[in-house]
Structure 1
Amino acid sequence: MNYILFDGPHRNNLLPFTYTRPVADIRVGIMTIREKWESYLDYTTTTVTEDYLSEKFPLVEMEANIMINASFLPNEAITGLIKNLKDNQAIFKDQDVIAFYVKEGEEHDDFSAFDAIEFEEDILKIEHTWDIFSKNGIAIEKDFEIITKNRISEPIPNTVNTINPENIFIEKGANLNFVTLNASSGPIYIGRDAEVMEGSVIRGPFALCSHSTVKLASKIYGPTTIGPHSKVGGEINNSVIFGYSNKGHDGFLGNSVLGEWCNIGADSNNSNLKNNYAEVRLWDYNTEGFAKTGLQFCGLMMGDHSKCGINTMFNTGTVVGVSANIFGSGFPRNFVPSFSWGGHGGFITYKTNKAFEVAEVVMNRRNIAFTTLDKSILEHVFEITKRFRRD
């Protein structure tokens, strides 16, 4: 059986992160959604996504296929049902299809003729950007169980102060000394070749993925995930960084999500609570207005390749698109469109040739090429986000 992850009806709710990746490649917990499904299915997956992303994230179709809605996170119960799906069967949770069986070349937008299987158990679903951080604690715990099952952690160094050490797992090559790890409120995972520098205090649930660094005397409150090849410092609370991004200095990041190739300047801060304690609203790409989140705490959503200068201040519930460059004093507005250049005083268009020069330099520092394909994806994002820019 061939398994294919599709974006599903919530893809636009997950912008700006899905401008540059399928839903399946969002990181929540320790792993991406794709990595979770492949772990449960013991099978490599491919993707149905937007046409402009399909060359980088191709579809492989076989004679018999099971399509899986990537907004749902796997568990043993749903995986068992999916593996036993037969022709003309589909699994639903409330109004959303979770998975369905399809033969090569068939397309299905109407499931009325399918034999419907209603999934009655609880299942995590990522349908809004804020779900990425608000459901991150549960996702870390589930991923921790999968990754550490029947495995033994590397020894915890004698210089590390621990609480609930049986809930701490350290991979080979990790380096940590003279730090405090408190796993009493959730597991702590330290990935391969990651480093936690001296004086840092970390409270779980927490995941530091491979080749990432927590800098000197950092304070991190869970549930927080630092994706691979990232550097963080200062104070972080209940946030997710997808990978290849830096918040390397003092300053606060809370209830926030950063994509890949982002950089937060020194002493930058975001608000995660309104002064009047009111419900936070976030920019909604579907309605092109601000929508209720149901949350009292909600910070910064920043798409791939976006950066901010030193001492940047972000209001509660700020959405920054792809390849934005923000700097200067004062608060920028709560929605910064993709390819914007400026700050509180206003924005102009960040020209693609300039943005691509920066992207190439940033990626080359990590020995990753900025390819023609990467460029074409960002050029497409530039075109489809023109209407949000005002210059």
Structure 2
Amino acid sequence: MTINLFDDASWMSLRPLTFTRPVADLRIGILTIAEKWAKYLNADFGFQTQEYLSIKYSKKVNANLSINGSICPDEALVDAISQLKNGEVLVKGDILIAHHNDPAQLDAVTFNNEIQYKRDLVRIVYPEDIFANNPAEIRKDFVLLTKGRTSAKISSTNQLLGDDIFFEEGAKVECSVLNTTYGPIYVGKNAEIWEGSLIRGSFALCENSSIKMGAKIYSGTTIGPNSRAGGEINNSVIWGNSAKGHEGYLGNSVLGEWCNIGADTNNSNLKNNYAEVKLYDYESQSMRNTQLQFCGLIMADHSKSGINTMFNTGTVVGVSANIFGAGLPPNHISDFSWGGGSCFEPYKLEKMFETAEKVFARKSLPFDHIEKDILTKVFELTSAHRNY
């Protein structure tokens, strides 16, 4: 089977996280949304996304099934989609879930029959939906990835509570406390948890990533592939190729790719007056009430913070911002900004490229024209949001 995962209006409301990717490339739980669908359906996948992103995230021309990339799969939904016949469309209210069509008609789809889906959906519409749904998605992905398999050997130097733990081949954990009585713990291929770490599930450490000594990791946390994490982390998602390797608190937060959090950086996730948290909304260019009491930091790809940075409750950091210095920065830090406190200036594109080339080289990856073209387009698209 071959599928395409399409962006709907949630691509707009998920900015700045989606400026650099389709919605289905968001990581929530252990896998990205696209990887979940591929695993459930045993399918190859492509993306129907913004034109400038298609140079990296292309669609499959031979796909006969298109699925909403903002929706996370489960067995009931997969079963309903698998039963769709040519020309049929699955919806829930006014939400288009999936449609089945001849590949030659994907650009001019006509539907013969609309089928209402009556069960609940997990749909990612706003950035805070990622960490809010992450504990449940870790549990679902854990079952999906480990069903019928046996974990690699777990060292006897660890203290284990509960049985919902799975190590992929090459995973290393020594002298740590792993508590799965609140949710499963998944340690990916060649990932490592260093000595003295305290881990409470649900928790996922993805391929080639590491947790540093003495880390305190709470439920609902995912560390994506090729990343490093340490300090205190609670109910947060780090997508991959990023680092929060030092002391400092990260809670109810999302970090994109190629981010780096300096030593002793902290974020607040609860207002002093316990009021509901507001986040900057790119569509209205104003603050939106999340109706959440706990909401921390939303940081898009390529952004960095210097040592001792303090992020206020409900801070949104755009693509490729560089934050440093004393004082609390504003609750919205514009894309391609450079500075700290209340003093920011534009982060010139050529300077940003110089840094990105060095960061990619550390992972033995090329910072090629595709990455540059996408970031150049994002730089242009976000000019209206630069608030200095």
The TM tier, using the shorter chain, reads: over 0.9
Q: Which moved more, 1:311-320 or 1:68-77?
A: 68-77
**Cα distance in 2, alignment partners of residues 45 and 361 from structure 1:** 31
Task: Provide the rounded CA distance (Å) in 2 between the counterparts of 1:114 and 1:238.
Answer: 43
Look up the match of 2:55. 55
Give the whole-Å Cα distance in 1 for the aligned partners of 2:50 and 2:245: 33
Per-residue deviation, 1:118: 1.1
Question: Letter of the aligned partner of 2:231 in structure 1?
Answer: G
Q: 2:257 — aligned with what?
A: 260
Is 1:138 matched with 2:143? no
Q: Give me the identity figure in percent.
A: 51
Q: Aligned pair 1:123/2:87, yes or no? A: no
Contact 2:86–2:101 (CA under 8 A) maintained in structure 1:
yes
Alpha-carbon contact 2:2-2:45 (below 8 Å) kept: yes
Question: Cα distance, 1:179 vs. partner?
Answer: 0.4
The question of 1:321 aligning with 2:299 is answered no
Which of residues 191, 201, 205 is equivalent to 2:202? 205
Give yes or no for contact 1:348–1:390 (8 Å, CA) kept in 2: no
**Residue 90 (structure 1) aligns with:** 89
1:297 counterpart residue number: 294
1:311 is aligned, of 308, 312, 317, to: 308
State the distance in 2 between where 1:280 and 1:195 align.
Answer: 35
Q: How does 1:95-244 map to 2 (within 5 A)?
A: 95-106=94-105, 114-164=112-162, 166-244=163-241
Q: Is the 8 A contact 2:3 2:60 kept in 1?
A: no
Aligned equivalent of 1:368: 365
**TM score, norm. by length of structure 1:** 0.97
Q: 1:104 and 1:31 mapped to 2: Cα distance?
A: 27
1:80-139 CA-partner distances (Å, limit 9, x unpaired): 22122112211012220100122334357998x641111112221111110100000100
Distance of 1:16 and 1:290 partners within structure 2:
14
Contact in 2 for aligned 1:253/1:269 (Cα 8 Å): yes
Letter in 2 for 1:389: R
Write the letter of the residue equivalent to 1:290. Answer: M
8 Å CA contact retained: 1:69, 1:97 = yes
Name 1:36's counterpart in structure 2: 36
Q: Which runs of 5+ in 2 are unaligned?
A: none
1:45-84 matches, cutoff 5 A = 45-62=45-62, 65-84=64-83
The code of the aligned residue for 2:94 comes to: Q
For the pair 1:345 / 2:342, whether they are aligned, the reply is yes
Give the 3-state SS of the residue equivalent to 2:90 in structure 1: strand
Paired with 1:171 and 1:102, the residues of 2 have a C-alpha distance of 38
Structure 1 runs not aligned, ≥5 long = none
In 2, Cα distance between equivalents of 1:94 and 1:65: 23
Name the SS of the counterpart of 2:374 in structure 1. Answer: helix
- Kindly tell me the number of residue pairs found equivalent between the two proteins: 388
Of 368, 382, 386, the residue aligned with 2:383 is 386
Distance in 2, Cα, partners of 1:378 & 1:11: 17
CA deviation profile, 1:311-368 (whole Å, cap 9, x unmatched)? 0000000000000000000000000111000111311000000001000000110111
Letter paired with 2:89: A
Structure 1 residue 75, shift from structure 2 partner? 1.3
Shift of 1:293: 0.5
SS, match of residue 11 in structure 1: helix
TM-superposed deviation, 1:44: 0.5
Question: What secondary structure, in the 3-state scheme, does the structure 1 residue paired with 2:233 have?
Answer: strand
TM-score, L = length of structure 2: 0.98
C-alpha spacing 1:119/1:56, structure 2 compared with 1 (3 Å)? same
CA contact (8 A) 2:330 2:342 kept: no
8 Å contact kept, 1:187–1:204: yes
- Matching of residue 286 in structure 1 with residue 283 in structure 2: yes
Distance in 2 separating the partners of 1:171 and 1:390: 45
Moved beyond 3 Å, runs of 4+:
104-111
Distance 2:103 2:176 in 1: 54
